[in-house]
């Protein structure tokens, strides 16, 4: 609604300006064409840019495929130049890009470091500014709304991407055909980038899973924000009712964050002190070594599970640990029982450093939660050939301020416990909610259970029965690359009246997956506390005939909705 009002207001201003232009006398009619063009740009471009930014009218495609909406990631300046927020830059160009002190942005790609200054066109390459003027941008980087932006066309040309921007449709297109491919460095350490959180000590409690999750989350916010979140609150307020003695895993931590229970700042453990909203997670396995490296490089620390064979906090008695080199490698068949944070890697880390014979060189650099007396000030090296390293690994990709949405609607407080499907790669699902007040449906959250998951999201703004699910209003579609949880901003935002029911409908397809829908149900392994009374979910084989997931399968759908109040 606000966008429509803004468009109307802008049109009134344009009509007024045109009227003023038509009152010019003959003297001004002789002004040269170039001056008229300049005047038009000065008058109209800021108005156009403001309208485009307000309504979110810009679209982005890469090699002909639509890039999924991520909120305020694109910005049009007063001269109609396109800027992109650093999360876009990292994802599109496969690089590390971080801002500091509200004044500087450091981008690293293929062994080269680029340093940009906010509101300045000149930049440095590996610390040097070219004397021939070649290190100059056409558009200045910006710091706005606590986020850093780089000029998209300049960065595209820097890495040989094709770039075009249609000023009529506000469509941005990138072409990577001739682009220089991005490669991982042979070694990388977040400690060198000021992107590791404080080393903490879990003591004698079984809470490593909470400390690892918090450590990875804090790392993902660095260096822009140096935050200190409470691992104790993850334990005491998780939706599984796990205690410090019970232990837990990445699923318990993920559900705590995704349900907006937290994170909260250390020392202020109340629901009102939730400082961030986690909106996107990526999941990995022990087979995804390179993907985990990319996640560390672009998004910060990655939590992972390993097996440790002693109960002491020093690994002194372990035959798999070389204390003199702080090197660890377990090659047995035991399941993971400890979580740490991967903060880097070294492909050339010598295999002779490990206590036992290892097939090859290479190690992940891992941050532990046993205090600074352990290892190398709390850090140790785990071989690539460790049986479990990379299992249940999680990266925190989308971490936003807690005012990003006014309300979350959900029935899956425990998050993904299991999966459901009809023995094929696609399924239709719908969750029905009742709006607490007049609201605009802004975004939808769901789990992608495999790579290259495609989705089509629709909304029924005034739901009465399952017949309404047959022809909902399509509001977003696309494909996500990685396994994980995603929040998709809607291309069309629909209003729902107070106390009225609305439905979120998703058609989802995951290649090579016969159960592509995430569900919450009563599982025994973690003592899941599932409340089926808060859900009203439906599943369908064909989008026409719907069955209740609560009544037929004793489960809730993992399909959330995010809204803002109508102002």
Domains of the chain, residue spans: 2-55, 59-175, 187-396, 405-565
Strands (E), 68-131: 74-76, 82-85, 96-100, 104-109, 112-117, 123-125
Q: What is the CATH number of domain 187-396?
A: 3.90.70.10
Look up residue 100 and give its two tokens.
Answer: 């500091």
Contact, 304 vs 213, CB < 8 A? no
Q: What residue has token string 């709304």?
A: 145
Spatial CB neighbours of 524, under 8 Å, sequence gap ≥ 6: none
- What homologous superfamily does CATH list for 59-175? Copper amine oxidase-like, N-terminal domain (3.30.457.10)
C-alpha 145/C-alpha 104 separation (Å) is: 15
Which tens digit of pLDDT belongs to each residue from 55-72? 888 999 999 988 876 567
Q: Report the distance separating Cα 144 and Cα 123, nearest Å.
A: 19
Number of Cβ within 10 Å of residue 94's Cβ equals 18
Gap between the terminal Cα atoms of the chain:
8
Q: Is the pLDDT of residue 26 over 80?
A: no
The answer to whether the CB of 484 falls within 8 A of the CB of 299 is: no
502 — pLDDT class (breaks 50, 70, 90): very high
Omega into 223 within 30° of 0, i.e. cis? yes
Q: Hunting for tokens 């590390």 — which residue is that?
A: 96
CB atoms within 10 A of CB 139: 17
Q: Which CATH class is domain 405-565?
A: mainly beta
Strand, coil or helix: what is 383? strand
Q: What is the mean pLDDT of the chain?
A: 90
pLDDT given for residue 275 in this prediction: 86
Neighbours of 407 (CB within 10 A): 17
Q: pLDDT tens, 169-183?
A: 999 999 999 999 999
Per residue, the 3-state secondary structure of 201-217, as one string, reads ECCCCCCHHHHHHHHHH
Q: What does DSSP assign to residue 248?
A: -
Strand positions, DSSP E, 50-92: 59-62, 65-66, 74-76, 82-85
pLDDT above 70 covers a percentage of the chain that reads 90
Domains 59-175 and 405-565 share a fold: no
Instruction: Tell me the pTM.
Output: 0.90
């Amino acid at each position: 609604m606000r966008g429509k009002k803004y468009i109307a207001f802008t049109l009134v201003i344009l009509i007024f300006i045109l009227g003023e232009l038509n009152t010019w006398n003959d003297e001004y009619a002789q002004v040269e064409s170039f001056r008229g063009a300049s005047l038009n740009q000065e008058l109209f471009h800021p108005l156009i840019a403001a309208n485009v930014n307000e309504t979110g009218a810009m679209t982005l495609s890469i090699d002909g495929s639509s890039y999924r909406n991520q909120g305020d990631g694109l910005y049009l300046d007063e001269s109609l130049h396109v800027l992109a927020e650093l999360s876009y830059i990292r994802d599109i160009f496969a690089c590390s890009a971080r801002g500091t002190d509200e004044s500087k942005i450091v981008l690293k790609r293929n062994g080269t470091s680029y340093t940009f200054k906010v509101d300045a066109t000149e930049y440095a390459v590996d610390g040097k500014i070219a004397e021939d003027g070649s290190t100059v941008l056409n558009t200045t980087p910006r710091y706005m709304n606590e986020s850093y932006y780089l000029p998209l066309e300049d960065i595209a040309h820097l890495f040989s991407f094709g770039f075009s921007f249609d000023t009529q449709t506000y469509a941005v297109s990138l072409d990577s055909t001739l682009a220089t491919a991005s490669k991982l460095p042979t070694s990388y350490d977040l400690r060198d980038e000021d992107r590791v959180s404080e080393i903490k000590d879990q003591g004698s409690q079984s809470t490593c899973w909470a400390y690892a999750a918090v450590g990875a989350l804090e790392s993902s916010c660095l260096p822009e924000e140096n935050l200190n979140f409470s691992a104790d609150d993850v334990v005491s307020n998780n939706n599984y009712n796990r205690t410090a003695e019970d232990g837990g895993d990445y699923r318990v931590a993920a559900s705590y964050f995704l349900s907006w229970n937290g994170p909260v700042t250390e020392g202020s453990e109340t629901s009102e002190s939730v400082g961030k909203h986690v909106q996107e997670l990526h999941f990995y396995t022990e087979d995804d070594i390179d993907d985990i490296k990319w996640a560390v490089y672009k998004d910060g620390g990655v939590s992972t599970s390993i097996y440790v064979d002693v109960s002491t906090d020093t690994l002194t008695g372990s035959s798999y640990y070389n204390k003199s080199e702080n090197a660890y490698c377990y090659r047995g068949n035991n399941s993971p029982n400890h979580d740490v944070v991967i903060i880097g890697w070294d492909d050339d880390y010598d295999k002779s450093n490990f206590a036992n014979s290892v097939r090859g060189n290479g190690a992940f650099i891992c941050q532990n939660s046993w205090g600074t007396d352990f290892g190398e000030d709390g850090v140790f090296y785990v071989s690539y050939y460790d049986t479990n390293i990379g299992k249940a690994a999680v990266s925190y990709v989308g971490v936003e301020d807690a005012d990003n949405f006014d309300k979350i609607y959900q029935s899956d407080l425990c998050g993904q416990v299991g999966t459901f499907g009809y023995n094929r790669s696609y399924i239709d699902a719908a969750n029905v909610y009742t709006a607490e007040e007049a609201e605009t449906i802004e975004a939808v959250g769901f789990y992608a259970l495999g790579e290259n998951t495609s989705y089509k999201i629709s909304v029924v703004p005034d739901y009465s029965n399952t017949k309404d699910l047959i022809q909902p209003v399509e509001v977003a579609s696309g494909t996500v690359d990685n396994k994980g949880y995603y929040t998709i901003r809607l291309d069309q935002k629909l209003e729902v009246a107070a106390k009225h029911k609305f439905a979120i409908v998703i058609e989802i397809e995951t290649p090579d997956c016969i159960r592509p829908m995430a569900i919450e149900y009563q599982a025994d392994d973690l003592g899941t506390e599932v409340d089926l009374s808060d859900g009203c979910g439906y599943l369908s084989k064909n989008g026409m005939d719907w069955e209740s997931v609560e009544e037929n399968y004793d489960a809730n759908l993992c399909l959330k909705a995010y809204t803002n109040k109508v102002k």
